[in-house]
Structure 1
Amino acid sequence: MAVILNQKKSTCPDWDSVPPELLYLITRKLSDLPDFFNFRAVCRSWRSSVPISDLPPQKCPLILEEHDKLFLPDHLRFFSLSTGKVFMLPFPNQLMAQEWMGPTLDGYLHVGQYPRTNKWLFNPLTHHQVLLPSLDDSRLPRHLLQRSGDYVISCGVGFDRPSLALFRLSNKKWNIGKLGRHFTNTCICVNGMFFSYDRLEGKTKIVEIATGDLISVVPSPMEELQEFVWLVESFGDILMVVSLESRTRTTNNHYDFGIYKLKVDFDNANHNPCWVQTESIGDRVLFICGKTGISFQAGQFHGMVGNCIYIKKLLAIDGSIICRYSIEDGGIEKIPCPFNDWHIFVPSLQYLNTSGSE
Structure 2
Amino acid sequence: MRRTREPCPPWSDGLPPELLDIILRYVTCLADRVYFAAVCRAWRSAAEVYKATPCQVPCLLLPSPVAPSFLSLHSGATRRLYLPESIRAARLCGSHEGGWVALALGQWRGYGALNLCSGAMVPLPDRLRIPSEHGWIDNTCEHHMVIRTVTFSGTPSTEGCLAAAHVSSASNIAFWRTGMDRYWIACRRDVDVIEDIIYYKKGFYVLSNTEDVMVYAPNIVNGNSPLMMSRTSYLVQKRADYKPVSRLPKGVSMSRYLVESRGKLLMILRHFRNKQRREFRIFEMNLAGGGGGSEASWVELHALPGRVLLLGRGCSRAFEVSQFDTLPVGNIYYLNDTSFNLTLESSNGSWNPRTNMSVYDFHKPRNKTRRYPRKSTSECSAPIWLIP
TM-score of Structure 1 vs Structure 2, range by shorter chain:
0.7 to 0.9
Q: Match of 1:324?
A: 359
CA separation in 1, counterparts of 2:116 and 2:358? Answer: 27
Deviation readout 1:235-258 (Å, 9 max, x if unpaired):
32211111344xxx2x21312222
Aligned-pair Cα RMSD in Å: 3.6
Q: Match of 2:134?
A: none
1:166 to 169, 175, 181: 175
Alignment: residue pair count: 319
Partner AA of 1:214 in structure 2 = R
Q: Match of 1:4?
A: none
Cα distance change of structure 1 residues 323 and 345 upon mapping to structure 2, 3 Å threshold: closer
CA separation in 2, counterparts of 1:296 and 1:285? Answer: 5
Q: TM-score, normalised by structure 2?
A: 0.69
Residue range with higher mean Cα deviation, 230-239 or 268-277: 268-277
Partner AA of 1:167 in structure 2 = W
Decide whether the 8 Å contact of 1:115 with 1:135 is kept in 2: no
Q: Match of 1:143?
A: 148
Partner AA of 1:192 in structure 2 = K
- SS where residue 330 of structure 1 aligns? coil
2:259 to 200, 220, 232: 232
CA separation in 1, counterparts of 2:331 and 2:284? Answer: 16
Work out whether 1:32 is the aligned partner of 2:43. Answer: no
Cα distance change of structure 1 residues 328 and 80 upon mapping to structure 2, 3 Å threshold: same
Decide whether the 8 Å contact of 1:288 with 1:294 is kept in 2: yes
Work out whether 1:213 is the aligned partner of 2:230. Answer: yes
Work out whether 1:76 is the aligned partner of 2:68. Answer: yes
Partner AA of 2:197 in structure 1 = C
Identity of aligned residues (%): 18
5+ unaligned residues in a row in structure 1: which ranges?
1-9, 349-358
Report how far residue 84 of structure 1 moved: 1.8
Decide whether the 8 Å contact of 1:168 with 1:174 is kept in 2: no
Decide whether the 8 Å contact of 2:28 with 2:54 is kept in 1: yes
Q: Match of 2:278?
A: 255
Report how far residue 50 of structure 1 moved: 5.7
CA separation in 2, counterparts of 1:96 and 1:244? Answer: 34
Q: Match of 1:128?
A: 120
Decide whether the 8 Å contact of 2:150 with 2:314 is kept in 1: no
CA separation in 1, counterparts of 2:56 and 2:357? Answer: 19
CA separation in 2, counterparts of 1:112 and 1:319? Answer: 20
- SS where residue 224 of structure 1 aligns? coil
Report how far residue 180 of structure 1 moved: 6.5
Report how far residue 125 of structure 1 moved: 2.0
Report how far residue 268 of structure 1 moved: 5.2
CA separation in 1, counterparts of 2:144 and 2:109? Answer: 15
Cα distance change of structure 1 residues 97 and 202 upon mapping to structure 2, 3 Å threshold: closer
Matches within 5 A, 1:270-285: 270=293, 272-285=295-308
CA separation in 2, counterparts of 1:307 and 1:236? Answer: 18
Partner AA of 1:164 in structure 2 = I
Deviation readout 1:308-351 (Å, 9 max, x if unpaired):
3222348xxx9445433232332233144131345232332xxx
Q: Match of 1:356?
A: none
Deviation readout 1:198-255 (Å, 9 max, x if unpaired):
22x441212224562223324243531253211122232211111344xxx2x21312
Matches within 5 A, 1:258-337: 258-264=281-287, 269-270=292-293, 272-289=295-312, 293-313=316-336, 319-331=354-366, 332-337=368-373
Q: TM-score, normalised by structure 1?
A: 0.74
Report how far residue 63 of structure 1 moved: 1.6
- SS where residue 213 of structure 1 aligns? strand
